[in-house]
Amino acid sequence: MSRAASLSRLGDRALGVLGIVAFLLVWELVPRLHIVSDAYLSPPSQIIVTIWDLVSSGALFKHLFASLQRSLYGLLSAIVLGVVLGLLMGWFTRFEAIVDPILQLFRQTSAFALFPVFILFLGIGETSKVAIIFWASFWPVLLSTISGVKQVDRLLIDSARSMGANRLFVFRKVVLPAASPSIFTGVRLAGTYCITALVAAEMIGAHSGLGFLTLNSQEVFQIPTMYAGILLLALLGLALNYVLAVVERRLTRWRKGLTLNG
C-alpha cells in the first residue's frame, strides 16, 4: 500500500471517529440543555455510569452470559444446518427440486410470527428462545450458500473434471472454496439477524438477558438502564460481526493478494 493510500485511509478513520464524537456530544447536550427531557433521553455519561453500576453489582455478567448463550446456540445451529443443507441443494439439483418448495413456504413465515408456535410446542424456557434465534439466522446462511455453489464458474468445474478429478474432489477442492465468500456473507448476515431475534426472544418469558434488561427497565421507568441495555446489545452485535469477520479472514487466507492475472 502506498503512502498516499495509507494517509487517505487514516484520514477516513479520523473522520469516522470525529463523526462518532460529534454524535455523542450532541446526544450529551440535548438532554443536558433540556431540549429533550432527560426522563426520556439519558445522556451518554449517565449511561456509562449505569453500565459501570451493572458491572459492579455483577448483574451485567448474568444478563450478558444469558444472551451470549442463547445467541451462540441459535446461530451455530443455523450455520451448521444452513451450510450443509445449502451445499446439498446447490450441488444436487434433484435434491433441491424436492426440498425447495417446502423451504420456500417456510421462508415466507416470519420468525416473530412463529414465536407463539415455538412457545406452544417448546414452552417458555430456553429451547423456544434458541429456536426463534435459529429460525431467523438460518435463512441468510442457507440462501447465500445455495447462491455461492450455483455461481461457481462452470469452467473451473469442467477443467477439474477434464483432468480426471472425481465428483467429490471437485466439490471439496473447487466448489467449496469458490463458494466460501458467499457462504461467509450469509453467516455475517445471520449474525445481525441473530441479535435482532435475541431481543424479541428475551422480551417474552425471560428473566435474564440484555433484551429482558431493556424491556424490564422500560416497564419500571429506569430509563438510563434501558439505554444501557440498548447500547450493550449494539456492542454485542458489533463484537459478533467482528469475530465472524476475523474467522472469515482466517479461513480464506488463500484469497489474499489474489488477482485476475494470478
Q: Which tens digit of pLDDT belongs to each residue from 58-78?
A: 889 999 999 999 999 999 999
C-alpha cell at 48: 456509562
What residue type is 95 in one-letter code? F
What is the per-residue pLDDT across 144-185, written as a single tens digit (0 to 9) for each? 999 998 888 878 777 877 787 777 888 888 888 888 888 999
Question: Does residue 51 contact residue 61 with C-beta atoms inside 8 Å?
Answer: no
Query: Buried b / exposed e across 234-251, counting CB within 10 Å, b at 16+?
Result: eebbeebeeebeeebeee
pTM of the complete model: 0.82
What is the per-residue pLDDT across 112-121, written as a single tens digit (0 to 9) for each? 778 888 888 8
Q: What is the pLDDT of the chain when averaged over all its residues?
A: 84
| pLDDT of 48 | 93
What residue type is 147 in one-letter code? S
Checking if the pLDDT of 262 tops 50, the result is no
Q: What percent of the chain has pLDDT over 70?
A: 92
In this prediction, residues 217-243 reach a mean pLDDT of: 90
User: In which band, very low, low, confident or very high, does the pLDDT at 51 lie, cut at 50, 70 and 90?
Assistant: very high
| pLDDT of 107 | 82
Helices (H), the chain: 3-32, 44-57, 59-91, 93-107, 115-122, 126-150, 154-162, 167-170, 176-202, 210-219, 223-251
Domains belonging to the chain, first-starting first, are 1-40 (no CATH), 42-254 (1.10.3720.10)
Checking if the pLDDT of 214 tops 70, the result is yes
Q: What percent of the chain has pLDDT over 90?
A: 27
| pLDDT of 261 | 47
Distance CA 152, CA 84 (A): 17
**Which region among 17-26, 144-153, 158-167, 188-197 has the lowest average model confidence (pLDDT)?**
158-167
Sign of CA pseudo-dihedral 254, 257, 258, 261: negative
Cβ partners under 8 Å of residue 169, min gap 6: 160
